[in-house]
Amino acid sequence: MAHTNKAELLTPNASNRYELKESDLPAHCPMPGMRSWDSHPKVYLPIKENGGVAVCPYCSAEYSLKE
């Protein structure tokens, strides 16, 4: 999920489903690799506490933990 090249930043809230790896935790929306200037405030998502899935309360993006 994480991108390092600033030219390749993802548009936040453009997709509504994201798969995360254990290395992406702690989960938050928007995630690293997404532009943050045109998004909502960062919110941490309790993905492990919710059985490996979480929904952002701001944009309704769905995150799932890849096994």
Instruction: Give the pLDDT score at 43.
Output: 95
Q: How many domains does the chain have?
A: 1
Q: Is the pLDDT of residue 3 over 50?
A: no
Is 59 part of a structural domain of the chain? yes
Q: What pLDDT digit, counting tens, does each position of 7-66 carry? A: 577 666 666 889 999 999 999 998 887 877 778 899 999 999 999 999 999 989 999 999
Q: 3-state SS string over the chain?
A: CCCCCHHHCECCCCCCEEEECHHHCCCEECCCCECCCCCCCCEECCCCCCCCEEECCCCCCEEEECC
Instruction: Give the pLDDT score at 10.
Output: 66
Range of the domain at 15: 6-65
Instruction: Give the pLDDT score at 37.
Output: 75
Is 35 part of a structural domain of the chain? yes
Q: Name 49's Cβ contacts closer than 8 Å, sequence gap at least 6.
A: none
pTM over 0.85: no
Is 25 part of a structural domain of the chain? yes
Pairing of strands 53-55, 43-44: unpaired
Is 1 part of a structural domain of the chain? no
Matching residue, tokens 């798969």 = 19
